[in-house]
Amino acid sequence: MKQLFNPSRISASTASVLLVWCVLATPAFSQECGDEQPFGECRVLVEINSSDGDIGFHWLTDGGDLVSTRIDDPNGAKVFENRGFGPLLDQKLTETFGESAEPLCWDDGEVDVDEIVTMRDFRDMWEPGTYQVSGKLDQGGKAFGEAELTYYLPAAPQEVEFNEITGVISWKSGDDLGMCTPEAPDSLAQLVADEVLDEFPEDVPVLAWEVVLEPDVDDTDPRAGLVFRTRVGGPLVARPAGDSYSVTVPADYLAALGDDTPVKIEVGAIGGDFEIDEDDEVDGDNDNATFTETEGFCVNEDEGCDD
């Protein structure tokens, strides 16, 4: 999954529609991460696909005129390093985004049990706390920053639906982690008691919802790049499961997809441990994400979408 940081690819015919929508609906998430020679942005986070039941570690660093970057975990162990060579060394590095492989967190009956990474396994691998970010600058200096990894994991959106006629995507707030919810005899309550999770998922405030609609077609299909993506503000405080939310996809965008276009929907809860200060600015660590996917929708149905 690459939901959090990768921009949508859109055609010229739909660019104006999507650009206006995304600019108006998307909150700012910039996080400076240093005081002296800072990186412009540093993030480390946990991302869960609650439908497929997989889990991964994601990171982002953004600084100017770097020749290398490195991330160390709270124990001082190096977990990532990159550097430029040849023309990339000459032109320098700026933003680096990456994500780990995303193993299943449950037994689907097909995966090798040795390859399953439960929430407990993942927590053992990725220590919560301060991750140190460092980089070497073009002129020999160094840049430093830091980012916090927490286990405030927001609950998976539930009852994700799409009305092909009205263009409305709807969902409700959830109370668990979908397929990554532990099976008995383990439980979310036990994960919280054992400090695997910092809080019950339904008690983690949602800063924003990320909503994605994309054609469910082969990569070679010209419609494959016509992705609608937006973020809308969340409730900012913990809310009980079952609250309803919706987004209307612009009609011009849907029309641009053409007849009989199969589409799939993703809705992600973006949240974590944060506070809203007196200036209404977000302070804290708020980038953990739990996504829910659903498919089987047909846009502009004429003869019908292929199964």
Sequence-distant (6+) residues with CB within 8 A of 240 are: 173, 175, 202
Most confident stretch, 7-11, 43-47, 271-275, 281-285? 43-47
Please name the residue that has the structure tokens 């009989």: 260
- Residue 210 sits at the vertex; the CA angle it makes with 43 and 62, to the nearest 5 degrees, is 25
**Residue 110 token pair:** 């097909």
> Mean pLDDT in the chain?
86
Long-range contacts, stretch 12-17, CB < 8 angstroms, 24+ apart = 13/256, 14/226, 14/252, 14/253, 14/256, 17/250, 17/252, 17/253, 17/256
Cis (ω within 30 of 0) for the bond into 87? no
The residues that bridge with 275 in the sheet, in sequence order, are 283
pLDDT, tens digit (0-9, with 9 covering 90-100), for 3-24: 433 333 333 333 434 433 443 3
* Distance (Å, whole) CA 294 – CA 297: 9
Q: Tell me, what's the pLDDT at 284?
A: 72
Residues 214 and 191: their CA atoms lie apart, in Å, by: 34
Confidence of residue 138 (pLDDT cuts 50, 70, 90): confident
pLDDT over 70 percentage in the chain: 87
Cα–Cα distance, 266 to 243 (Å, whole number): 17
With contact defined as beta carbons under 8 Å apart, do 146 and 131 qualify? Answer: yes
The percentage of residues in the chain with a pLDDT greater than 90, rounded to a whole number, is 70
Q: How much is the pLDDT for 143? A: 87
Largest Cα span, the chain: 63
Q: How confident is the model at residue 32 (pLDDT cuts 50, 70, 90)?
A: low
Query: So what's the pLDDT on residue 234?
Result: 86
pTM score of the predicted model: 0.86
Question: pLDDT value at position 162?
Answer: 98
Distance of CA 190 to the CA centre of its chain: 26
CA distances from 16 to 159, 230, 253 (A): 30, 14, 10
For the segment 148-176, what is each residue's pLDDT rounded down to a tens digit?
999 999 999 999 999 999 999 999 999 99
Q: 94 and 86 in contact (C-beta within 8 Å)?
A: no
Q: Please report the pLDDT score of residue 140 as a whole number.
A: 81
How much is the average pLDDT of 30-44? 70
Find where tokens 């953990």 sit.
288
What does the pLDDT look like over 238-263, one tens digit per residue? 777 889 999 999 999 999 999 999 99
- Tens of pLDDT, residues 281-299: 777 777 899 999 999 999 9
